[in-house]
Structure 1
Amino acid sequence: MSVSVHTRKTNKKNSPLEPLLMPQVPRSNYLHLQEEKQRLQLRKFLLHRIFLVAKITANTEKKDIAEYYEQVFQSILKRHLGEAVTGLLLVYPTSILHILESSSGSLYQILLDYLNHEKDEAEFFIQGMKIIVMSHNIPTRLFMQWQVSAIKAPVMHLDDVTQSQSLEEVITEFLIQTHKLALHLFKIVKVGAKGPGNNLHKIAPELLLPEQIIKYLCNSEEFMDPETFINIYNKPVHVTLDSEVVWPAPSRF
Protein backbone atom coordinates (compact mmCIF):
# COMPACT_ATOMS: atom_id res chain seq x y z
CA MET A 1 0.00 0.00 0.00
CA SER A 2 1.40 3.28 -0.93
CA VAL A 3 0.85 6.22 1.25
CA SER A 4 0.87 9.53 -0.45
CA VAL A 5 2.28 12.36 1.54
CA HIS A 6 1.14 15.82 0.69
CA THR A 7 3.48 18.57 1.74
CA ARG A 8 1.78 21.77 2.78
CA LYS A 9 3.34 24.80 1.30
CA THR A 10 4.21 27.32 3.93
CA ASN A 11 3.17 30.87 3.38
CA LYS A 12 6.34 32.94 3.27
CA LYS A 13 4.41 36.13 3.78
CA ASN A 14 4.97 37.47 7.29
CA SER A 15 2.05 37.50 9.62
CA PRO A 16 0.87 40.92 10.82
CA LEU A 17 1.54 39.83 14.41
CA GLU A 18 5.06 38.62 13.68
CA PRO A 19 6.80 41.96 14.40
CA LEU A 20 5.09 42.03 17.78
CA LEU A 21 6.32 38.54 18.59
CA MET A 22 9.91 39.22 17.55
CA PRO A 23 12.32 39.81 20.45
CA GLN A 24 12.81 43.50 20.98
CA VAL A 25 16.24 45.05 21.33
CA PRO A 26 16.53 46.41 24.89
CA ARG A 27 16.73 50.16 24.97
CA SER A 28 18.95 51.97 27.43
CA ASN A 29 19.01 55.50 28.73
CA TYR A 30 21.62 57.89 30.09
CA LEU A 31 21.06 56.82 33.69
CA HIS A 32 21.69 53.17 32.85
CA LEU A 33 24.82 54.19 30.97
CA GLN A 34 26.19 56.06 33.99
CA GLU A 35 25.31 53.20 36.36
CA GLU A 36 27.07 50.72 34.11
CA LYS A 37 30.13 52.95 33.89
CA GLN A 38 30.24 53.18 37.68
CA ARG A 39 29.88 49.40 37.99
CA LEU A 40 32.75 48.79 35.59
CA GLN A 41 34.96 51.25 37.41
CA LEU A 42 34.03 49.68 40.78
CA ARG A 43 33.26 53.06 42.28
CA LYS A 44 30.64 53.61 44.95
CA PHE A 45 30.01 57.27 44.12
CA LEU A 46 30.46 59.86 41.40
CA LEU A 47 33.74 61.73 41.69
CA HIS A 48 33.85 65.53 41.57
CA ARG A 49 36.64 68.11 41.67
CA ILE A 50 36.37 71.65 43.03
CA PHE A 51 38.80 74.57 42.83
CA LEU A 52 38.67 77.03 45.74
CA VAL A 53 40.52 80.25 46.52
CA ALA A 54 40.35 82.24 49.75
CA LYS A 55 42.13 84.84 51.83
CA ILE A 56 43.74 84.06 55.16
CA THR A 57 44.30 86.35 58.11
CA ALA A 58 47.74 87.70 58.93
CA ASN A 59 50.20 85.37 60.64
CA THR A 60 48.13 82.27 59.87
CA GLU A 61 50.33 79.20 59.97
CA LYS A 62 50.19 76.34 57.51
CA LYS A 63 49.84 73.95 60.45
CA ASP A 64 46.61 75.59 61.63
CA ILE A 65 44.97 75.33 58.21
CA ALA A 66 46.15 71.75 57.69
CA GLU A 67 44.86 70.63 61.09
CA TYR A 68 41.49 72.27 60.47
CA TYR A 69 40.94 70.45 57.19
CA GLU A 70 42.22 67.14 58.54
CA GLN A 71 39.61 67.32 61.31
CA VAL A 72 36.91 68.07 58.73
CA PHE A 73 37.99 65.10 56.60
CA GLN A 74 37.96 62.76 59.60
CA SER A 75 34.46 63.91 60.52
CA ILE A 76 33.26 63.32 56.95
CA LEU A 77 34.71 59.79 56.83
CA LYS A 78 32.60 58.84 59.84
CA ARG A 79 29.41 59.64 57.92
CA HIS A 80 30.57 58.91 54.36
CA LEU A 81 32.62 55.74 54.74
CA GLY A 82 34.98 55.13 51.84
CA GLU A 83 34.58 58.58 50.33
CA ALA A 84 38.15 59.76 50.82
CA VAL A 85 39.10 63.35 50.05
CA THR A 86 42.22 63.95 47.97
CA GLY A 87 43.68 67.15 46.60
CA LEU A 88 46.21 69.91 47.07
CA LEU A 89 46.31 72.90 49.41
CA LEU A 90 48.75 75.70 48.57
CA VAL A 91 49.20 78.16 51.42
CA TYR A 92 50.47 81.55 50.26
CA PRO A 93 51.37 84.37 52.68
CA THR A 94 47.89 85.95 52.50
CA SER A 95 45.76 83.50 50.50
CA ILE A 96 45.21 79.83 49.67
CA LEU A 97 44.50 77.72 46.60
CA HIS A 98 42.63 74.52 47.39
CA ILE A 99 41.82 71.66 45.00
CA LEU A 100 39.56 68.91 46.37
CA GLU A 101 38.37 65.61 44.90
CA SER A 102 35.59 63.53 46.45
CA SER A 103 31.86 62.85 46.30
CA SER A 104 29.34 65.68 46.07
CA GLY A 105 28.19 64.98 49.64
CA SER A 106 31.72 65.26 51.03
CA LEU A 107 32.45 68.48 49.16
CA TYR A 108 29.12 69.87 50.36
CA GLN A 109 30.05 69.12 53.97
CA ILE A 110 33.45 70.81 53.56
CA LEU A 111 31.82 74.00 52.29
CA LEU A 112 29.13 73.83 54.97
CA ASP A 113 31.71 73.47 57.75
CA TYR A 114 33.59 76.52 56.46
CA LEU A 115 30.36 78.50 56.28
CA ASN A 116 29.45 77.58 59.86
CA HIS A 117 32.85 78.75 61.12
CA GLU A 118 32.58 81.98 59.14
CA LYS A 119 29.19 82.76 60.69
CA ASP A 120 29.91 81.63 64.27
CA GLU A 121 33.40 83.05 64.72
CA ALA A 122 34.18 86.76 64.76
CA GLU A 123 37.34 86.30 62.70
CA PHE A 124 37.84 82.89 61.14
CA PHE A 125 41.33 82.55 59.65
CA ILE A 126 39.91 81.58 56.22
CA GLN A 127 37.86 84.38 54.66
CA GLY A 128 36.26 85.40 51.39
CA MET A 129 36.24 81.94 49.83
CA LYS A 130 35.24 81.67 46.17
CA ILE A 131 34.40 78.62 44.05
CA ILE A 132 36.29 78.97 40.78
CA VAL A 133 35.03 75.84 39.07
CA MET A 134 33.49 72.49 39.97
CA SER A 135 33.94 69.53 37.63
CA HIS A 136 31.31 66.80 37.89
CA ASN A 137 31.75 63.07 37.30
CA ILE A 138 35.46 63.20 36.53
CA PRO A 139 36.90 59.90 35.23
CA THR A 140 39.81 59.64 37.68
CA ARG A 141 41.66 61.47 40.43
CA LEU A 142 44.60 63.76 39.80
CA PHE A 143 45.74 63.38 43.41
CA MET A 144 46.22 60.08 45.20
CA GLN A 145 46.14 61.79 48.61
CA TRP A 146 45.64 65.18 50.22
CA GLN A 147 48.80 67.30 50.24
CA VAL A 148 49.69 70.64 51.80
CA SER A 149 52.46 72.96 50.69
CA ALA A 150 53.41 76.40 51.98
CA ILE A 151 54.58 78.85 49.33
CA LYS A 152 56.93 81.09 51.31
CA ALA A 153 59.41 82.00 48.61
CA PRO A 154 58.12 84.72 46.25
CA VAL A 155 57.14 83.56 42.78
CA MET A 156 58.84 85.99 40.42
CA HIS A 157 56.93 87.27 37.38
CA LEU A 158 57.76 90.14 35.07
CA ASP A 159 54.36 91.83 35.17
CA ASP A 160 50.96 91.65 36.78
CA VAL A 161 48.82 89.72 34.30
CA THR A 162 45.65 90.73 36.13
CA GLN A 163 46.18 94.29 34.90
CA SER A 164 46.69 93.43 31.23
CA GLN A 165 44.42 90.39 30.73
CA SER A 166 40.68 89.86 30.87
CA LEU A 167 39.01 87.64 33.46
CA GLU A 168 38.59 84.87 30.87
CA GLU A 169 42.31 84.94 30.11
CA VAL A 170 43.25 84.93 33.79
CA ILE A 171 40.97 82.00 34.61
CA THR A 172 42.29 80.10 31.57
CA GLU A 173 45.85 80.53 32.79
CA PHE A 174 44.73 79.55 36.29
CA LEU A 175 43.22 76.26 35.14
CA ILE A 176 46.09 75.41 32.79
CA GLN A 177 48.75 76.01 35.43
CA THR A 178 46.92 74.13 38.17
CA HIS A 179 46.34 71.12 35.93
CA LYS A 180 49.99 71.12 34.85
CA LEU A 181 51.05 71.25 38.48
CA ALA A 182 48.65 68.42 39.38
CA LEU A 183 49.97 66.21 36.57
CA HIS A 184 53.55 66.96 37.62
CA LEU A 185 52.84 65.96 41.22
CA PHE A 186 50.99 62.87 40.02
CA LYS A 187 54.21 61.72 38.33
CA ILE A 188 56.71 62.50 41.10
CA VAL A 189 54.74 61.85 44.31
CA LYS A 190 54.30 58.20 45.26
CA VAL A 191 51.23 56.87 47.01
CA GLY A 192 51.69 57.13 50.76
CA ALA A 193 54.50 59.67 50.53
CA LYS A 194 54.23 63.02 52.28
CA GLY A 195 54.55 64.94 49.03
CA PRO A 196 56.85 67.81 48.12
CA GLY A 197 56.19 69.68 51.36
CA ASN A 198 57.36 73.29 51.24
CA ASN A 199 59.80 72.75 48.36
CA LEU A 200 57.43 73.32 45.46
CA HIS A 201 59.15 76.60 44.62
CA LYS A 202 62.32 74.54 44.07
CA ILE A 203 60.75 71.51 42.37
CA ALA A 204 58.45 73.27 39.90
CA PRO A 205 58.70 77.07 40.22
CA GLU A 206 57.42 77.59 36.67
CA LEU A 207 54.16 75.80 37.51
CA LEU A 208 53.28 77.87 40.57
CA LEU A 209 50.69 80.60 40.17
CA PRO A 210 51.62 84.03 41.54
CA GLU A 211 49.62 85.06 44.57
CA GLN A 212 48.35 88.11 42.73
CA ILE A 213 46.17 85.82 40.59
CA ILE A 214 44.76 84.07 43.68
CA LYS A 215 43.89 87.41 45.28
CA TYR A 216 42.43 88.69 42.01
CA LEU A 217 40.07 85.70 41.82
CA CYS A 218 39.09 86.15 45.48
CA ASN A 219 38.00 89.72 44.73
CA SER A 220 36.11 88.84 41.54
CA GLU A 221 32.34 89.07 41.94
CA GLU A 222 31.77 86.74 39.00
CA PHE A 223 32.55 83.67 41.10
CA MET A 224 30.17 82.04 43.56
CA ASP A 225 30.77 82.02 47.30
CA PRO A 226 29.97 78.90 49.41
CA GLU A 227 26.80 80.40 50.89
CA THR A 228 25.27 81.01 47.47
CA PHE A 229 26.32 77.56 46.30
CA ILE A 230 24.78 75.83 49.33
CA ASN A 231 21.53 77.80 48.96
CA ILE A 232 21.25 76.66 45.35
CA TYR A 233 22.21 73.10 46.33
CA ASN A 234 19.46 72.94 48.94
CA LYS A 235 16.83 74.66 46.84
CA PRO A 236 14.24 72.17 45.56
CA VAL A 237 13.69 71.93 41.86
CA HIS A 238 10.14 72.85 40.86
CA VAL A 239 8.94 72.14 37.33
CA THR A 240 5.94 74.24 36.31
CA LEU A 241 3.75 72.47 33.79
CA ASP A 242 1.89 74.33 31.05
CA SER A 243 -1.41 73.18 32.53
CA GLU A 244 -0.56 75.01 35.75
CA VAL A 245 -0.29 78.44 34.13
CA VAL A 246 -3.39 78.42 31.87
CA TRP A 247 -6.56 80.30 32.78
CA PRO A 248 -9.09 79.24 33.77
CA ALA A 249 -7.54 76.46 35.80
CA PRO A 250 -8.43 73.00 34.47
CA SER A 251 -11.18 71.29 36.44
CA ARG A 252 -10.85 67.69 37.55
CA PHE A 253 -13.79 65.27 37.48
Structure 2
Amino acid sequence: MSFSHNRKGKKRAFPLEPLLLPQVPRGNYLHFQEEKQRIQLKKFLLHRMFLVAKTRSNVEKKDIAEYYEQVFQSILKHHLGEAVTGLLLIYPTSFLHILESSNGTLFRILLDYLGHEKDETEFFIQEMKIIVISHNIPTRLFMQWHVSAIKVPVMYLDDVTQSQSLKEVITDFITQIHKLSLYLFKTIKVGTKGPGDNLHHVAPDLLLPEQIIKYLCESEEFMDPATFINMYNGPIHVTSDSEVVWPAPSGF
Protein backbone atom coordinates (compact mmCIF):
# COMPACT_ATOMS: atom_id res chain seq x y z
CA MET A 1 0.00 0.00 0.00
CA SER A 2 2.87 2.36 0.79
CA PHE A 3 4.34 1.72 -2.66
CA SER A 4 1.07 2.72 -4.32
CA HIS A 5 0.87 5.86 -2.14
CA ASN A 6 4.34 6.98 -3.20
CA ARG A 7 3.48 6.68 -6.90
CA LYS A 8 0.41 8.88 -6.49
CA GLY A 9 2.34 11.61 -4.71
CA LYS A 10 5.17 11.77 -7.26
CA LYS A 11 4.78 14.39 -9.99
CA ARG A 12 5.46 13.45 -13.60
CA ALA A 13 8.71 14.91 -14.99
CA PHE A 14 8.62 16.46 -18.50
CA PRO A 15 11.74 16.52 -20.67
CA LEU A 16 13.23 20.02 -20.76
CA GLU A 17 15.51 19.64 -23.77
CA PRO A 18 12.91 20.43 -26.49
CA LEU A 19 11.85 23.55 -24.58
CA LEU A 20 15.41 24.79 -24.20
CA LEU A 21 16.29 24.41 -27.91
CA PRO A 22 16.17 27.67 -29.92
CA GLN A 23 13.13 27.94 -32.17
CA VAL A 24 14.55 28.72 -35.62
CA PRO A 25 11.92 30.05 -38.10
CA ARG A 26 11.69 27.87 -41.17
CA GLY A 27 10.76 29.20 -44.59
CA ASN A 28 10.37 27.75 -48.05
CA TYR A 29 11.30 28.70 -51.60
CA LEU A 30 7.92 30.34 -52.26
CA HIS A 31 8.37 32.69 -49.29
CA PHE A 32 11.86 33.49 -50.52
CA GLN A 33 10.60 34.46 -53.98
CA GLU A 34 7.73 36.53 -52.54
CA GLU A 35 10.11 38.43 -50.28
CA LYS A 36 12.48 39.01 -53.20
CA GLN A 37 9.65 40.44 -55.29
CA ARG A 38 8.51 42.61 -52.38
CA ILE A 39 11.99 44.06 -51.89
CA GLN A 40 12.29 44.87 -55.58
CA LEU A 41 8.78 46.42 -55.56
CA LYS A 42 7.77 44.21 -58.47
CA LYS A 43 4.10 43.35 -58.91
CA PHE A 44 4.68 41.41 -62.13
CA LEU A 45 7.49 39.43 -63.68
CA LEU A 46 9.61 41.63 -65.91
CA HIS A 47 10.51 40.88 -69.51
CA ARG A 48 12.79 42.62 -71.99
CA MET A 49 12.02 42.79 -75.72
CA PHE A 50 14.25 43.94 -78.59
CA LEU A 51 12.46 45.33 -81.65
CA VAL A 52 13.73 46.67 -84.96
CA ALA A 53 11.64 48.38 -87.62
CA LYS A 54 11.85 50.60 -90.67
CA THR A 55 10.32 54.06 -90.82
CA ARG A 56 9.34 56.44 -93.58
CA SER A 57 12.16 58.73 -94.60
CA ASN A 58 10.21 61.87 -93.75
CA VAL A 59 9.05 60.81 -90.28
CA GLU A 60 10.34 62.90 -87.38
CA LYS A 61 11.64 61.78 -84.02
CA LYS A 62 8.79 63.60 -82.29
CA ASP A 63 6.15 61.59 -84.17
CA ILE A 64 7.61 58.22 -83.13
CA ALA A 65 8.22 59.30 -79.53
CA GLU A 66 4.70 60.72 -79.12
CA TYR A 67 3.14 57.60 -80.61
CA TYR A 68 4.81 55.31 -78.08
CA GLU A 69 4.17 57.68 -75.16
CA GLN A 70 0.45 57.64 -75.99
CA VAL A 71 0.49 53.84 -76.24
CA PHE A 72 2.18 53.51 -72.83
CA GLN A 73 -0.28 55.90 -71.17
CA SER A 74 -3.29 54.17 -72.72
CA ILE A 75 -2.12 50.75 -71.56
CA LEU A 76 -1.44 51.87 -67.98
CA LYS A 77 -4.81 53.63 -67.88
CA HIS A 78 -6.89 50.63 -68.92
CA HIS A 79 -4.71 47.67 -67.85
CA LEU A 80 -2.81 47.06 -64.65
CA GLY A 81 0.86 46.36 -65.36
CA GLU A 82 4.45 47.42 -64.92
CA ALA A 83 5.60 50.77 -66.25
CA VAL A 84 7.64 50.70 -69.45
CA THR A 85 11.35 51.49 -69.37
CA GLY A 86 13.90 51.14 -72.15
CA LEU A 87 15.60 52.89 -75.03
CA LEU A 88 14.42 53.98 -78.47
CA LEU A 89 17.24 54.69 -80.94
CA ILE A 90 15.85 56.44 -84.02
CA TYR A 91 17.92 56.28 -87.21
CA PRO A 92 17.11 58.19 -90.41
CA THR A 93 14.93 55.38 -91.83
CA SER A 94 14.75 52.77 -89.05
CA PHE A 95 14.85 52.34 -85.29
CA LEU A 96 15.95 49.98 -82.54
CA HIS A 97 13.64 49.67 -79.53
CA ILE A 98 14.42 48.05 -76.16
CA LEU A 99 11.37 47.62 -73.94
CA GLU A 100 11.20 46.43 -70.32
CA SER A 101 7.82 45.74 -68.75
CA SER A 102 5.33 43.02 -67.84
CA ASN A 103 4.32 40.40 -70.36
CA GLY A 104 0.81 41.82 -70.78
CA THR A 105 2.09 45.34 -71.45
CA LEU A 106 4.56 44.18 -74.10
CA PHE A 107 1.81 42.10 -75.69
CA ARG A 108 -0.51 45.12 -75.96
CA ILE A 109 2.25 47.28 -77.45
CA LEU A 110 2.54 44.77 -80.29
CA LEU A 111 -1.23 44.64 -80.67
CA ASP A 112 -1.43 48.42 -81.02
CA TYR A 113 1.17 48.33 -83.80
CA LEU A 114 -0.77 45.61 -85.62
CA GLY A 115 -3.95 47.66 -85.36
CA HIS A 116 -2.29 50.61 -87.12
CA GLU A 117 -0.65 48.35 -89.69
CA LYS A 118 -4.04 46.85 -90.55
CA ASP A 119 -6.07 50.07 -90.63
CA GLU A 120 -3.53 52.41 -92.21
CA THR A 121 -2.13 51.77 -95.68
CA GLU A 122 1.08 53.69 -94.97
CA PHE A 123 1.77 53.60 -91.24
CA PHE A 124 5.11 55.31 -90.50
CA ILE A 125 6.42 52.17 -88.73
CA GLN A 126 6.96 49.24 -91.11
CA GLU A 127 8.52 45.77 -91.31
CA MET A 128 8.86 45.36 -87.56
CA LYS A 129 10.70 42.29 -86.31
CA ILE A 130 11.14 40.82 -82.84
CA ILE A 131 14.80 39.97 -82.36
CA VAL A 132 14.75 38.47 -78.88
CA ILE A 133 12.61 38.42 -75.73
CA SER A 134 14.25 37.84 -72.33
CA HIS A 135 11.78 36.47 -69.78
CA ASN A 136 11.75 37.05 -66.02
CA ILE A 137 14.73 39.41 -65.98
CA PRO A 138 16.13 39.99 -62.46
CA THR A 139 16.38 43.77 -62.77
CA ARG A 140 15.94 46.63 -65.21
CA LEU A 141 18.76 48.09 -67.26
CA PHE A 142 16.83 51.34 -67.64
CA MET A 143 15.10 53.30 -64.89
CA GLN A 144 13.12 55.34 -67.46
CA TRP A 145 12.15 55.28 -71.11
CA HIS A 146 14.64 57.27 -73.20
CA VAL A 147 14.58 58.41 -76.83
CA SER A 148 17.68 59.29 -78.82
CA ALA A 149 17.99 60.26 -82.49
CA ILE A 150 21.05 59.10 -84.42
CA LYS A 151 21.27 61.78 -87.11
CA VAL A 152 25.00 61.82 -87.77
CA PRO A 153 26.04 58.89 -90.01
CA VAL A 154 28.73 56.66 -88.54
CA MET A 155 31.42 55.59 -91.01
CA TYR A 156 32.28 51.91 -91.28
CA LEU A 157 34.98 50.25 -93.36
CA ASP A 158 32.74 47.53 -94.77
CA ASP A 159 29.24 46.12 -94.66
CA VAL A 160 29.37 43.28 -92.15
CA THR A 161 26.04 41.94 -93.39
CA GLN A 162 27.78 40.96 -96.63
CA SER A 163 30.75 39.21 -95.02
CA GLN A 164 29.21 37.62 -91.92
CA SER A 165 26.56 34.99 -91.37
CA LEU A 166 23.26 35.83 -89.69
CA LYS A 167 24.46 34.10 -86.51
CA GLU A 168 27.55 36.30 -86.40
CA VAL A 169 25.56 39.44 -87.11
CA ILE A 170 23.01 38.75 -84.37
CA THR A 171 25.77 37.85 -81.90
CA ASP A 172 27.50 41.17 -82.56
CA PHE A 173 24.13 42.93 -82.37
CA ILE A 174 23.26 41.56 -78.92
CA THR A 175 26.80 42.09 -77.61
CA GLN A 176 26.93 45.69 -78.80
CA ILE A 177 23.47 46.52 -77.47
CA HIS A 178 24.34 44.98 -74.12
CA LYS A 179 27.48 47.13 -73.87
CA LEU A 180 25.51 50.24 -74.78
CA SER A 181 22.81 49.42 -72.21
CA LEU A 182 25.39 48.91 -69.45
CA TYR A 183 27.07 52.19 -70.38
CA LEU A 184 23.79 54.09 -70.15
CA PHE A 185 22.89 52.28 -66.91
CA LYS A 186 26.10 53.53 -65.31
CA THR A 187 26.02 57.07 -66.70
CA ILE A 188 22.35 58.12 -66.72
CA LYS A 189 21.03 59.30 -63.37
CA VAL A 190 17.44 58.68 -62.31
CA GLY A 191 15.22 61.64 -63.18
CA THR A 192 17.40 63.02 -65.96
CA LYS A 193 16.33 63.28 -69.60
CA GLY A 194 18.76 60.61 -70.71
CA PRO A 195 21.41 60.62 -73.42
CA GLY A 196 19.55 62.98 -75.75
CA ASP A 197 20.77 63.12 -79.33
CA ASN A 198 24.50 63.17 -78.51
CA LEU A 199 25.24 59.45 -78.40
CA HIS A 200 27.35 59.75 -81.53
CA HIS A 201 29.61 62.09 -79.53
CA VAL A 202 29.75 60.35 -76.15
CA ALA A 203 29.68 56.69 -77.25
CA PRO A 204 30.30 56.39 -81.01
CA ASP A 205 31.94 52.95 -80.68
CA LEU A 206 28.82 51.51 -79.06
CA LEU A 207 26.36 52.50 -81.78
CA LEU A 208 25.20 49.98 -84.35
CA PRO A 209 25.23 50.97 -88.02
CA GLU A 210 21.81 51.41 -89.57
CA GLN A 211 22.61 48.80 -92.19
CA ILE A 212 22.45 46.13 -89.49
CA ILE A 213 19.05 47.36 -88.30
CA LYS A 214 17.68 47.18 -91.85
CA TYR A 215 19.31 43.78 -92.40
CA LEU A 216 17.49 42.37 -89.37
CA CYS A 217 14.20 43.92 -90.51
CA GLU A 218 14.48 42.08 -93.82
CA SER A 219 15.58 38.77 -92.32
CA GLU A 220 12.94 36.04 -92.51
CA GLU A 221 14.45 34.18 -89.55
CA PHE A 222 12.89 36.61 -87.07
CA MET A 223 9.19 36.84 -86.25
CA ASP A 224 7.01 39.79 -87.10
CA PRO A 225 4.46 40.81 -84.42
CA ALA A 226 1.54 39.12 -86.22
CA THR A 227 3.29 35.73 -86.33
CA PHE A 228 4.39 36.05 -82.72
CA ILE A 229 0.90 36.93 -81.44
CA ASN A 230 -0.71 34.11 -83.44
CA MET A 231 1.75 31.66 -81.91
CA TYR A 232 1.21 33.21 -78.47
CA ASN A 233 -2.58 32.80 -78.69
CA GLY A 234 -2.52 29.43 -80.43
CA PRO A 235 -3.18 26.24 -78.43
CA ILE A 236 -0.36 23.85 -77.74
CA HIS A 237 -1.08 20.40 -79.13
CA VAL A 238 0.94 17.62 -77.53
CA THR A 239 0.57 14.04 -78.70
CA SER A 240 1.68 11.55 -76.09
CA ASP A 241 3.00 8.09 -76.90
CA SER A 242 -0.11 6.49 -75.43
CA GLU A 243 -2.24 8.22 -78.08
CA VAL A 244 -0.29 6.67 -80.94
CA VAL A 245 -1.63 3.24 -81.93
CA TRP A 246 0.00 0.96 -84.44
CA PRO A 247 -1.30 -0.34 -86.69
CA ALA A 248 -3.74 2.50 -87.30
CA PRO A 249 -7.37 1.47 -86.74
CA SER A 250 -9.38 0.91 -89.90
CA GLY A 251 -13.10 0.40 -90.53
CA PHE A 252 -14.49 -2.82 -91.90
When the two structures are superposed, what TM-score results if normalisation uses the length of structure 1? 0.82
Which residue of structure 1 aligns with residue 227 of structure 2?
228
Cα deviation 1:184-220 (Å, max 9, x = unaligned): 1111111111111111101100100000110111111
Give the letter for the 2:155 counterpart: M
Which residue number in structure 1 is paired with residue 105 of structure 2?
A: 106
48-57 vs 185-194, which moves further: 185-194
Partner of 1:164: 163
Q: CA deviation at 1:65?
A: 0.2
Following superposition, the deviation at residue 120 of structure 1 comes to 0.5
Specify the alignment match of 1:46 in structure 2. Answer: 45
% same residue: 79
1:38 Cα offset (Å): 3.0
The one-character-per-residue Cα deviations of 1:221-240 (angstroms, maximum 9, x if unpaired) are 00000000000111123444
Deviation at residue 179 of structure 1 after TM alignment: 0.9
Q: Distance in 2 between matches of 1:149 and 1:129?
A: 19
SS of 1:193's partner is: coil
Q: Distance in 1 between matches of 2:129 and 2:31?
A: 34
**Quick check: 1:135 aligned with 2:100?**
no
8 Å contact from structure 2 (residues 81, 104) kept in 1: no
Q: Secondary structure at the match of 1:124?
A: coil
- CA drift at 1:79: 2.6
1:130-149 per-residue CA deviation (whole Å, 9 max, x = no partner) reads 00000000000001100001
- The letter for the 2-side match of 1:72 is V
**CA contact 2:81–2:102 (8 Å) conserved in 1:** no
- Partner Cα separation in structure 2 for residue 165 and residue 33 of structure 1: 45
Whether 1:87 aligns to 2:86 is yes
Given the alignment of the two structures, is residue 149 of structure 1 paired with residue 148 of structure 2, yes or no?
yes
Deviation at 1:241, TM superposition (A): 4.5
* One-letter amino acid of the structure 2 residue matched with residue 137 of structure 1: N
- Return the alpha-carbon distance in structure 1 between the equivalents of residues 239 and 171 of structure 2: 37
SS at match of 2:190: coil
Q: Which residue of 1 aligns with 2:20?
A: none
Please state whether the residue corresponding to 2:189 is helix, strand or coil.
Answer: coil
Long gaps (5+) in structure 2: 8-25, 248-252
Cα distance in 2, alignment partners of residues 160 and 142 from structure 1: 29
Corresponding residue of 1:22:
none
> RMSD between aligned alpha carbons?
2.6
The equivalent of 2:65 in structure 1 is 66
Distance 1:159 1:210, change over 3 A: same
Which whole-Å deviations, capped at 9, do the CAs of 1:160-202 have from their partners, x for residues lacking one? 1111111111101101111111111111111111111111101
Partner residue, 1:237: 236
Counterpart CA distance in 1 for 2:33 and 2:167 is 32
Q: Secondary structure at the match of 2:142?
A: coil
Aligned partners of 1:132 and 1:64: how far apart in 2?
A: 23
Q: TM-score w.r.t. structure 2 length?
A: 0.83
Question: How far 1:40 moved relative to its partner?
Answer: 4.9
Q: For the residues of structure 1 that align with 2:219 and 2:187, how far apart are their CA atoms?
A: 33
Q: Structure 2: which amino acid aligns with 1:76? A: I
Count of paired positions = 229
Q: CA shift at 1:82, angstroms?
A: 5.2
For residues 79 and 36 of structure 1, do their structure 2 counterparts lie closer, same or farther at Cα, with a shift above 3 Å needed? same
Is contact 2:44–2:81 with CA below 8 Å preserved after alignment?
Answer: no
